[in-house]
Chains A and B, each alone.
Chain A
């Protein structure tokens, strides 16, 4: 049957195909948006952390009833290093997956490209985290100065590959200077090394290629109201080491700790789990919405195609009697479905984009990138074809003898 004939059939019975089309359009619009939101939640969760996760223990919220002095911080580092199983420990300001303390920095490259980054600071922190260097070097002990010290000369900085591309384009980042946008005349920062990945700890911003907006700075943590540490332990005895660290902290601080505050000691995996809890819940919700939208669409299309087939049983029988093959009948129904659902999906793409723009006027919402539109449309087409298979096969089974009966 030619396309022209098929279209004229559809024209004669307009209402039902129009309803399917409308339903597919709205479902497709919702699906595009929900899939995009789902991806937005998933992005930070699938971004590589860039650190050696096994055997990494993170400690934070070690708060006293006053500000800890720098010697107290050094003493705590020494105490942690002495715990059996600990290979290295350093006080840090800003740690991956630790969202309670955040060090934010604005950076501007020579071309004027800007990036808001999270800094991780602490003596030997890069080596301890186990970041993968792709160019240059990490800091040497001579590089470090106390946090808050005046530099006067460009401060060395280690950035990530993604950040280097954003700030310097194709040019090599090594040796280049970066400035804070509010201190363009100052000495700024000089890139000494580039690492493969390092996930920022403002996880809500770790989307749209900004997951690796992270830098390392050669600063030693000094006086602080709340201490954080990164500890590297024997990965085979991580649980044991963690217990020992907990005991050592309790013994070391005894009653110097602020009552009611419990220091958080957790493996990287624990911290990751906690940091993503809310995000995971949201992702599940969006996933559930996406699947129910698809399920309802399947219900609708199946029911209607079934009705369609039943209505046209006589017509199919005549066509079969006139020599149409089963495969032709099957193909015809599938094609018809693809035509209706395809038109609905096209309309849905426009609707989804418009809906997103409209919602953006009222809510802090990301613009729906146009690449997401075909994703929803293709999903709709596939679902449409899948749900048409059963009724279409039923149509193909209609025997030619039906033509001779009156229904």
Chain B
């Protein structure tokens, strides 16, 4: 029966190629536009560290004075931690693992004569950064807490930079000159770059950046290495330095495995704030201290640019227009066939049969529209990749999105075909036969 209906549908669609073409075009335009935006949103709201993100939290304190007023559009200083606070949280060691970190860009002078000095961006961090984030290593490993304490000049390279500097030979044990200092390479990470770079300062371009090196935060402080990212100072007094209590610039992440640990850590943050307030350093209520989960932090930072969100709404609205369009066109098409329907009904076809027949016809249009829409979505993604925005080059479709497109197209057109098919199956056989 299905094959018979398919045959009928094909014949009917071929009878009016222009109308069919228009319907396929309309649904494919709607599907193409909305799938383009859904794909962009999908890659942007993806979990940057699947499997680990549920255990990762970032604590936030509010060390700002009561009268501090933030300028419109400037970043919130309370998004980062000050050096004294970060050190206090590290020392307290209340989480399973914790690390303080900051970004930096350093001049690298390669030993190889054929390579020019280059600026590389990387991260200054404390030892537990690697086990906490589960950074995979190709060779060697991260440094220890003892290295942090003594300020050992050790370095972890990203595989891309290691390959560039040392080719296929083992980078571990080699010396790299960063800034004006020699570092001993102790590890090379395997390909690892969370997207977005959630642990980085929020003022950067988090979809296109990746860290090329990692070195101990204590070394960066000793050598006065430049720090990238936002540095917000408040209050009066002499110009703040990185260790000032009134300048925030560090990011801090903690691993908390159980809800009890999370609750305890949250309480600890409040207690710490209360203690600082008692000491006269903090002025705002201790309850302002917050603990964000990884995905919650991404939502808080609203890393998905507003224009992407907005474009998604536009695209969905557009899909709705296209669906209305198809409802109307299908209705016109089905009602025109009143004669055919009444003959079939008079010959014994049930209403359900008519309904299924027209449902299959709409599904056929949906499949065609989905395939064409896939092409249009690829075109749309290509055009987004040409944009200069930070997230642009991420705009790629994966298999689930490919399948999703076709499913959405069929679903949309079957949905759109429901009303026309229902109208068609209510045609009174006798009336139509007489009128014909």
With A260-B119, A285-B311, A363-B309 already in contact, the answer to whether A300 and B329 are too (CB < 8 A) is yes
- Alpha-carbon distance A23/B333, docked complex (angstroms): 17
How far, in Å, is A75 (CB) from chain B's closest CB? 25
Partner of B107, one of A259, A300, A303: A259
- Alpha-carbon distance A297/B25, docked complex (angstroms): 12
Which of A292, A296, A364 has the most C-beta atoms of chain B within 10 angstroms of its own C-beta? A296
Judge whether A34 is part of the interface by a CB distance below 8 angstroms. Answer: yes
* CB within 8 Å of B: which A19-77 residues: 19-20, 22-23, 26-27, 29-30, 33-34, 37
Judge whether A103 is part of the interface by a CB distance below 8 angstroms. Answer: no
Residue on B nearest A27 in the bound complex, by CB: B321
Number of B interface residues in the complex (CB < 8 A):
40
Partner of A277, one of B314, B324, B388: B388
- Alpha-carbon distance A303/B22, docked complex (angstroms): 8
Is the Cβ of A289 less than 8 Å from the Cβ of B331?
A: no
Is the Cβ of A23 less than 8 Å from the Cβ of B324?
A: yes
Count of A-B contacts judged by CB separation below 8 Å:
103
- Alpha-carbon distance A19/B328, docked complex (angstroms): 6
Which of B118, B313, B333 has the most C-beta atoms of chain A within 10 angstroms of its own C-beta? B313
Is the Cβ of A304 less than 8 Å from the Cβ of B328?
A: yes
Collect the chain B residues with CB atoms within 8 Å of residue A297's CB.
321, 325
Collect the chain B residues with CB atoms within 8 Å of residue A151's CB.
none
Is the Cβ of A363 less than 8 Å from the Cβ of B332?
A: no
- Alpha-carbon distance A259/B320, docked complex (angstroms): 54
Is the Cβ of A307 less than 8 Å from the Cβ of B336?
A: yes
- Alpha-carbon distance A293/B315, docked complex (angstroms): 10
Collect the chain A residues with CB atoms within 8 Å of residue B325's CB.
23, 296-297, 299-300
* CB within 8 Å of B: which A112-164 residues: none
Is the Cβ of B310 less than 8 Å from the Cβ of A299?
A: no
- Alpha-carbon distance A297/B333, docked complex (angstroms): 17
Partner of A364, one of B306, B314, B329, B331: B306
Is the Cβ of B317 less than 8 Å from the Cβ of A30?
A: yes
- Alpha-carbon distance A302/B311, docked complex (angstroms): 28
Is the Cβ of B26 less than 8 Å from the Cβ of A299?
A: yes
Is the Cβ of A303 less than 8 Å from the Cβ of B332?
A: yes
With A16-B332, A260-B107, A303-B328 already in contact, the answer to whether A34 and B26 are too (CB < 8 A) is no
Interface string of B18-54 (1 = CB under 8 A from A): 0100100110011001000000000000000000000
- Alpha-carbon distance A33/B33, docked complex (angstroms): 17
Judge whether A15 is part of the interface by a CB distance below 8 angstroms. Answer: yes
Collect the chain B residues with CB atoms within 8 Å of residue A292's CB.
29, 33, 318
Is the Cβ of B22 less than 8 Å from the Cβ of A299?
A: yes
- Alpha-carbon distance A281/B390, docked complex (angstroms): 13
Which of A29, A277, A303 has the most C-beta atoms of chain B within 10 angstroms of its own C-beta? A303
Judge whether B307 is part of the interface by a CB distance below 8 angstroms. Answer: yes
Judge whether B271 is part of the interface by a CB distance below 8 angstroms. Answer: no
Collect the chain B residues with CB atoms within 8 Å of residue A382's CB.
none
Collect the chain A residues with CB atoms within 8 Å of residue B324's CB.
19, 22-23, 26, 300
Judge whether B11 is part of the interface by a CB distance below 8 angstroms. Answer: no
Residue on B nearest A277 in the bound complex, by CB: B388
Judge whether B288 is part of the interface by a CB distance below 8 angstroms. Answer: no
Judge whether B14 is part of the interface by a CB distance below 8 angstroms. Answer: no
How far, in Å, is A208 (CB) from chain B's closest CB? 15
- Alpha-carbon distance A16/B332, docked complex (angstroms): 8
Interface string of A362-381 (1 = CB under 8 A from B): 11110000000000000000
With A260-B119, A292-B318, A296-B321 already in contact, the answer to whether A359 and B329 are too (CB < 8 A) is no
- Alpha-carbon distance A33/B321, docked complex (angstroms): 14
Which of A33, A299, A365 has the most C-beta atoms of chain B within 10 angstroms of its own C-beta? A299
With A259-B119, A303-B19, A363-B306 already in contact, the answer to whether A296 and B320 are too (CB < 8 A) is no
Residue on B nearest A278 in the bound complex, by CB: B388
* CB within 8 Å of B: which A283-312 residues: 285, 289, 292-293, 295-297, 299-300, 302-304, 306-307, 310-311
Judge whether B93 is part of the interface by a CB distance below 8 angstroms. Answer: no
Interface string of B78-122 (1 = CB under 8 A from A): 000000000000000000000000000001000000000111000
- Alpha-carbon distance A297/B327, docked complex (angstroms): 13
Partner of A260, one of B117, B311, B317: B117
Is the Cβ of B327 less than 8 Å from the Cβ of A30?
A: no
Question: 16 A-B residue contacts at CB 8 Å?
Answer: A16-B328, A19-B331, A23-B328, A26-B321, A26-B324, A259-B117, A259-B119, A277-B388, A278-B387, A281-B388, A285-B383, A289-B33, A289-B314, A299-B25, A303-B332, A359-B313
Give 14 new A-B contacts, CB below 8 A, not counting A289-B318, A304-B328: A15-B331, A16-B328, A16-B332, A20-B328, A30-B318, A34-B314, A277-B388, A278-B387, A278-B389, A282-B307, A293-B321, A300-B324, A310-B336, A363-B306
* Chain B residues proximal to chain A, CB less than 8 Å: 19, 22, 25-26, 29-30, 33, 107, 117-119, 306-307, 309-311, 313-315, 317-318, 320-322, 324-325, 327-329, 331-333, 335-336, 383, 386-389, 423
* Chain A residues proximal to chain B, CB less than 8 Å: 15-16, 19-20, 22-23, 26-27, 29-30, 33-34, 37, 259-261, 277-278, 281-282, 285, 289, 292-293, 295-297, 299-300, 302-304, 306-307, 310-311, 355, 359, 362-365
